Chains A and B, each alone.
Chain A
Amino acid sequence: MASRLSRIWPTLSRVRLSAALGSRCVSQTPKSSASGAAVASDLQPVSPAAQDSHGHAEVSPFEKNPDFHGFHHHDSFVDQWNMKLAFFFGISVAIVIGGTFIHYLPDHGMRQWARREAERLIKQRESEGLPLMTENFYDPSTIVLPSSGEE
Chain B
Amino acid sequence: MAAHRCGLSLVCILFFSSLAHPSRCDTLEKANDNTATKRSISEVNTDGSVAGEDMNERQWQSTDVEVNRSDGTKNSETFTPAPAKDQFQEELVIRPLHSGDIYASFQFRTLWDTDFLQEGQKKVSHYRLFPKSLGQVLSKFSVQELHISFTQGFWRTMQWGQPFIPSPPGAELWVWFHHTVSDVDGNWKELTNVLSGIFCASLNFIDMTNTVQPSASFKPLGLGNATDHRFLRYATLPREIVCTENLTPWKKLLPCGSKAGLAVLMKSEKLFHSSFHSQAVHIRPICQDEQCTSKAWELRQTLNVVFDHYTSGQGKKEWSLFKMFSRTLTEACPLASSSKVYVDITDNPEGELFELSPATPLLSQAVVLGDRRTYSVYDLTRAETFGQLRSFNLLLRWKGDSGDMLRPLLHAERYVAGFGLQTGEIHTVIYNNHPYRAFPVLLMDSVPWYLQLYIHTLTVTSKSRDNKPSYIHYQPAKDRHRPHLLEMLIQLPPHSMTEVTVQFERALLKWTEYTPDPNHGFYVGSSVISALVPSMVAMSTNFTQDQPLFSSFVPVKEESSYFVRVYTEPLLVNLPTPDFSMPYNVICLTCTVVAVGYGSFYNLLTRTFQVDEPSPPLAKRLANFIRRIRGVPLLA
Are A and B physically bound partners?
A: no
Footprint of A on B, CB under 8 Å? none
**Residue positions of A touching B, CB distance < 8 A:** none
